[in-house]
Amino acid sequence: MRLLINMRVFAWIYPLLIGIILVTGLMNNAWFEIICAVCAALFWLVQLRFTTLLKKDEGIQKKQCKSLGFFLLLPSEGIIAAGVLLLFWPFSLMSTPITYGTAAISAALFIFLLFQMITLIKNTSPAGRLLRLTLGAAMSAPLSLSLTLVLYITTTDEAATLSCMSVGIFGTVALFIAVNIAMVSLCGYKSTRNSIKIISTLIKDRKLLFARITILRDAFLVTSKTAISVISFSFFMFANAMYSAGMGVARFYAVRMHAQGRARQIKSYRFVGVIISAASICYVIYSVRLFGGGKTESYPMYIALVIALYTFVEFGFNVREAFRLRKSKALEAKALRAISLSSTLLCFVLTQTAIMSFAAEGDNSFTNALAGVVFGGLATLVGLYIILDSLFQKKICEPQ
């Protein structure tokens, strides 16, 4: 009974505070406050649904909680987007009293959420368990708003960068919580560790399907790099986008090998090696031109950080795929490992160029060119190895 009373009080006060922040943001044309308020409202709607399910029996809770985790993805991504926009849009700082008042209200929202988590700590029902996680994700909105306001009041030089990083971290944590809620509810409300094991087993059983999904990931990488190249007017980023496009084509042929006969597999395997070698040689030629007086672009720090973060994520995907396929001797797996290794090698060049553009003074074209030639050359050797190995496999396959 006490828990339900606390929930009713929370249901009235929490949206009232969100409404105050939203109205204040609209009156002052403060876009960041508006986004945080809208995201907080979306979190609250999911919390409200979980709260109503607390009164139901566990069977109904398990049935109706399954889709709620997916609704949390939208406000979580909204928080991340707000953090990124801090680098590109000027922050609308309100008058000092209103700013301090908004920060205080945000802190009050955080305290309300923390108090609700404490009251639910002994609730072991499916709805209670997922509600605690939802409250943790919802903390990202008031924390992002209060911290950003404080940073812009106390400092101006690094406020945008620090706010972007902090808000991005809060939003990412909320996104992971949302994914965890969706995963746990879909896997029968087991623990997070057991749910991950279930998903891992599912991926192994349907590895062809998930390999095809990675082709969509390559398309996303190409689109993202192309967008960054347009925003930053960078031909270097466009060259990296074209390399990713080549790796996407190679992955497409590698995935198709699963349903092919042995002779056809060897031909596709060799073609993957040709694509890797050709794309890497083109990258080396692009890098060599820098020795003759060409220059790499100089990125603002915020764009360079976005590129570096993006590249680290791509690097993680490539390493994970290579590790997952490490024990397989199938030609398809060997081709996919080669693609991941080649993509990883070029990630080093992109990361170095992005970071050195703002961390090191002077013209870094020679260093970037050297990295492009070295890692591009290594990627070319990977492609040549696949070609030679395909010829060896063909020799074994042919009758004596």
Does 198 fall in a domain? Answer: no
Q: Count how many residues are written for the chain.
A: 400
Q: How many whole angstroms separate alpha carbon 241 and alpha carbon 215?
A: 14
**Domain range for 380:** 206-397
| Tokens encoding 130 | 């997922």
- The answer to whether residues 130 and 236 belong to one domain is no
Same domain, 388 and 328: yes
- If asked whether residues 184 and 267 sit together in one domain, one would say no
Residues 212, 153: one domain? no
Let me know whether 153 and 287 are in one domain: no
Pick from 35, 19, 18: which is nearest to 78 by CA? Answer: 35
Tokens linked to 68: 């709620």
**Contact at 8 Å (CB) between 342 and 360?**
no
**What pLDDT score does 4 carry?**
47
Residue 201 inside a domain? The answer is no
Q: Do 342 and 263 share a domain, yes or no? A: yes
163 & 217 share domain: no
Q: What pLDDT does residue 225 have?
A: 64
Distance of CA 120 to the CA centre of its chain: 30
Q: CA 340 to CA 278: how far, in whole Å?
A: 16
DSSP characters over 210-254: HHHHHHHHHHHHHHHHHHHHHHHT-HHHHHHHHHHHHHHHHHHHH
Residues 37, 129: one domain? yes
pTM of full prediction above 0.85:
no
Residue 169, domain member (yes or no): yes
Which pLDDT tens digits describe the chain residue by residue (400 residues)?
A: 454 445 555 667 788 888 999 999 888 888 889 999 999 999 998 888 888 887 787 777 777 777 777 888 889 988 988 888 887 777 777 788 888 888 899 988 898 888 888 888 877 788 888 888 889 999 999 999 998 888 888 766 677 778 888 888 898 899 888 888 888 777 777 777 777 777 666 655 555 555 555 666 666 666 766 776 666 566 667 777 788 788 888 888 887 777 777 788 888 888 889 999 998 898 888 888 777 666 666 666 666 666 666 666 766 766 666 666 666 677 887 888 888 888 888 877 877 777 776 665 666 777 878 888 888 899 999 899 988 888 888 777 665 4
Q: Are residue 131 and residue 160 in the same domain, yes or no?
A: yes
Predicted local confidence at residue 37, as pLDDT: 92
How many domains does the chain fold into? Answer: 2
**Same domain, yes or no: 185 and 212:** no
Residue 132 shares a structural domain with residue 182: yes
> Do 152 and 218 reside in the same domain of the chain?
no
